[in-house]
Amino acid sequence: MEDKAIYTTKEAADYLGVSPSTVYRMKKRGLLSPTKTSGGQRRFSQKNLEECLRKNQSFETPVVREMPPFYEITARAEPYFQENSIRIYNADFLRTDCIKEKTIDLIVTSPPYNVGIKYSSHDDKMSYEDYLSFTRKWLGKCYGLIKDDGRFCLNIPLDKNKGGQQSICADITTIAKQVGWKYHSTIIWNEQNISRRTAWGSWLSASAPYVIAPVEVIVILYKDRWKKISGSRKSDIGKKEFMDWTNGVWTFMGESKKRIGHPTPFPVELPRRCMKLFSFVGDTVLDPFLGSGSTLIACILTDRKGIGVEIDRNYCELAKQRLINEAEIYQLKLIRFMK
Ligand SMILES: C[S@@+](CC[C@H](N)C(=O)[O-])C[C@H]1O[C@@H](n2cnc3c(N)ncnc32)[C@H](O)[C@@H]1O
């Protein structure tokens, strides 16, 4: 590219070898400081771009840690999307044979809650019996895929109050144990911005009041032995994080459906904490109900390999776009590297 003093956003992107949207994000993070024309257009000085390049000599080479090959997946299914350490499969988790038995270190997932959510492909209004039978099938399948020292962080509601009161957490935990999972503990996730209240029952009367806790839970299960010996044995959790997160009440906001474009996303913070607390760097994490891809974004942020399965093609596309735009498979690492 010809040398000139002032560059448009597109020209700056070409100069740096990144996309215009990355230039925008780099500006937001203070890595670039453009001026504005009288018409409001951004302009970048060559000095500023060169400074930026100088900070990272290997700018044009994506700064990505070499990941080992994906020995966890079979050749029987084509991924919908694959990139370095990430695979997305557009499939019914109960039917797919894309993952090999006993290869997964950690499962982090939030299954459908059967509360009448309008998913594009999944029926979220089964009878409670059918829902528990569906739950038994996928919990059993997860059990086959996990390593002997693998763990499972299962985000589910505490109670269900639509269509009859049920202790959904107790019922699912019981089924998990019946299919072989061992119980370790339960984390209460205090979602500050939700209200599960639908009715008072009997207002100011003991005749039939309703009680509902504005929390969800993350049930921690494991396959055979709690002590993890497989994997890199390299932990990336800090002292404060360890002390805070081993206290089993986690308080952080839920994710906005509108912002993400999915009816029930969890915040990336949830799988990120689970990964740092319960897995080693480089471990393989599975989300069998991937939805909008939050678990895989957390994989990229924490240097874990990630496999996601999602039945709905539109959600797979959403997850893919989030990975490209939010996690920026190569460029996010690049920006972190430059800080
Ligand atoms: C609670 S949402 C998961 C949301 C996800 N944690 C996120 O952050 O976006 C459950 C997802 O499971 C998907 N799903 C339902 N049945 C499935 C199946 N049999 N196999 C794979 N995905 C399924 C739904 O389409 C939905 O996107």
> DSSP characters for 245-292?
HTSSEEE-PPPPHHHHTSSSPPPTHHHHHHHHHHS-TT-EEEESS-TT
114 CB under 6 A from ligand 1? no
Same domain, 219 and 318: yes
Residue 74 maps to a domain: no
Q: What is the mean pLDDT of residues 41-60?
A: 75
Residue 72 maps to a domain: no
89 CB under 6 A from ligand 1? no
Same domain, 176 and 87: yes
* Structure tokens that stand for 322 in this block: 């989030």
Residue 70 maps to a domain: no
Residue 186 maps to a domain: yes
Same domain, 30 and 114: no
Pocket test for ligand 1, best of 126, 264, 289, 296 (most atoms within 8 A of CB): 289
Same domain, 87 and 168: yes
59 CB under 6 A from ligand 1? no
pLDDT-derived band at 121 (thresholds 50, 70, 90) equals confident
Ligand 1 mean position, distance from CA 190 (Å): 22
Residue 68 maps to a domain: no
245 CB under 6 A from ligand 1? no
Residue 61 maps to a domain: no
292 CB under 6 A from ligand 1? yes
Same domain, 98 and 138: yes
Higher-pLDDT residue of 126, 91: 91
Please list the residues that pair with 306 across neighbouring strands: 86, 285
Distance between CA atoms of 238 and 217, rounded to whole angstroms?
23
266 CB under 6 A from ligand 1? yes
Same domain, 20 and 150: no
CATH code at 21?
1.10.1660.10
CATH code at 88?
3.40.50.150
| CA-nearest residue, atom 27 of ligand 1 | 291
Residue 148 maps to a domain: yes
Kindly report whether the global pTM for this prediction surpasses the value 0.85: no
Ligand 1 mean position, distance from CA 233 (Å): 30
Residue 123 maps to a domain: yes
Distance between CA atoms of 80 and 98, rounded to whole angstroms?
12
Tens digits of residue pLDDT in 238-289 = 999 999 999 999 999 999 999 999 999 999 999 999 999 999 999 999 999 9
Domain coverage including residue 277: 81-338
pLDDT of residue 334: 44
Same domain, 92 and 206: yes
121 CB under 6 A from ligand 1? yes
Ligand 1 mean position, distance from CA 157 (Å): 15
Ligand 1 mean position, distance from CA 121 (Å): 9
Higher-pLDDT residue of 315, 53: 315
Whether the pLDDT of residue 64 is over 80: the answer is no
Same domain, 44 and 166: no
Same domain, 174 and 235: yes
Domain boundary pick from 55, 73, 96: 55
308 CB under 6 A from ligand 1? no
Domain boundary pick from 55, 73, 95: 55
Same domain, 134 and 235: yes
311 CB under 6 A from ligand 1? yes
pLDDT of residue 14: 81
Same domain, 24 and 119: no
The DSSP annotation for 66-112 comes to: PPPP-TTB-TTS--SEEETTEEEEES-TTT---B-TT-EEEEEE---
pLDDT of residue 336: 46
| CA-nearest residue, atom 7 of ligand 1 | 265
Specify the number of domains making up the chain. Answer: 2
Q: What is the atom index within ligand 1 of the atom nearest the CA of 93?
A: 20
Ligand 1 mean position, distance from CA 273 (Å): 20
Same domain, 45 and 106: no
Whether the pLDDT of residue 192 is over 90: the answer is no
